[in-house]
Structure 1
Amino acid sequence: MFLRGSILAGAAALVVMGAVPAQADGVFTLTSPSFKDGERLAVKNAGNNKSNPNCVGENVSPALNWSNPPAGTKSFAIFMFDPEGRPPGGVSHWVAYGIPASVTGFAEGEVSKTSDKYVGGTSLMKLPHYFGPCTPPGPIHHYTLTLMATDLEPTALAAGLDRAEAMKALEGHVLQATGLIGTFSKP
């Protein structure tokens, strides 16, 4: 539990400037019908790369849902990050932003390719869409999904920003953040 709190606190601290409390009707929450917070991702959610023996899955993105964004939300940004991957820098698996405020989630497999529901950033693998875990044998890795409600119009940021660039561009524009952690290790 300490790791989960540290990861979310660290990610949110980088971008949340002047966070506002959640709306009275509920707490801003990210959930998945594909896995529960802190539980293992399915093998199908792992990356699929024939040249990497650690990529044992089908690269099917898990379903994601969110609710109760703060007042003033114009768009969302979402990041999937593995802090234990490729020490010391970690691995950015997915960078997406410009998600319109009317969007409340993604269906299973929907973000395994580009979509008109978001602006694709650039992952460590140089992809503009979700790419699942390719965890080497050994300890479990934690895949942190961080969803941020922003005051930016969906078209405010150019496509192709990497994680660091997107975080910098979001400074001062994040109203609130929420997160979810999935784990994975090579079966």
Structure 2
Amino acid sequence: MLGRGSIFAAAVVLAAFCGAQQASAQGVFTLSSPSFKDGERLAVKNAGNNKANPNCVGDNISPALNWANPPEGTKSYALLMFDPEGRPPGGVSHWVAYGIPASVTGFAEGEVSKASDKYIGGLSTQKVGFYSGPCTPAGPPHHYTFTLIATDLEPAALKEGMTREELIKALDGHAKQATGLIGIFSK
């Protein structure tokens, strides 16, 4: 016969197992890219192409991005690309996009290198509302963090042209879950 401690331990194990089964059936909210793996180098073509800046050595072609298994009740997404090592101490915001409808599950390579009707463009550090690739100076690689945020907001709920900081403030209380992906780049 099992004692109370053994019954409790068995119940905890069973509950954990059932919870894990439910989580794996629903899936984990993920952001991925066929263009690069998490923690790996972005291609040169993904770097910025501002000819006035010698650190911009690429073609400004946005990498492909895909996501899956959003949390229940997701109505829209926000997507940020941020370089925490750029322009110390504040970092560089390379892309601010939001109002992405819940029906959208990714962007093709190059699709967000210009404005798109699939999202509302915010303002990056470069003052543009679309992808702006890395222009990393010589030295150690920078980490370009892509963060996808599932929200309970309707796609048209927020005004156009918000900065990263304004968007983060506007999403307070509306973010359901976030997932991320990091690409590295150096000149």
TM-score tier by shorter-chain length is: 0.7 to 0.9
**What is the SS of the residue equivalent to 2:41?**
coil
Shift of 1:32: 0.0
| 1:14-163 aligned within 5 A | 24-163=25-164
Shift of 1:62: 0.1
Contact 1:22 1:68 in 2 (8 A): no
Shift of 1:24: 4.1
Write the letter of the residue equivalent to 2:138.
Answer: P
Identify the structure with bigger relative contact order (alpha carbons < 8 Å, sequence gap 6+). Answer: 1
Deviation by residue 1:88-119 (Cα, 9 ceiling, x = unmatched): 00000000000000000000000000000000
Contact 1:23 1:70 in 2 (8 A): no
Alignment partners' CA distance in 1, 2:58 and 2:104: 27
Write the letter of the residue equivalent to 1:177.
Answer: A
Structure 2: runs of 5+ lacking an equivalent: 1-21
Shift of 1:25: 1.7
Alignment partners' CA distance in 2, 1:71 and 1:24: 13
User: After the TM superposition, which of the residue ranges 23-32 and 44-53 deviates more from structure 2?
Assistant: 23-32
Over aligned residues, Cα RMSD in angstroms? Answer: 1.2
Alignment partners' CA distance in 2, 1:144 and 1:105: 16
After superposition, the Cα gap between the structure-2 partners of 1:168 and 1:59, relative to the gap in structure 1 and judged at 3 Å, is same
Alignment partners' CA distance in 2, 1:42 and 1:159: 30
Q: Identity over the aligned pairs, expressed in percent?
A: 78
1:181 and 2:175 matched: no
Q: In the comparison of the two structures, how many residue pairs are matched?
A: 166
Structure 1: runs of 5+ lacking an equivalent: 1-20
Shift of 1:134: 0.1
Contact 1:22 1:69 in 2 (8 A): no
Larger radius of gyration: 2
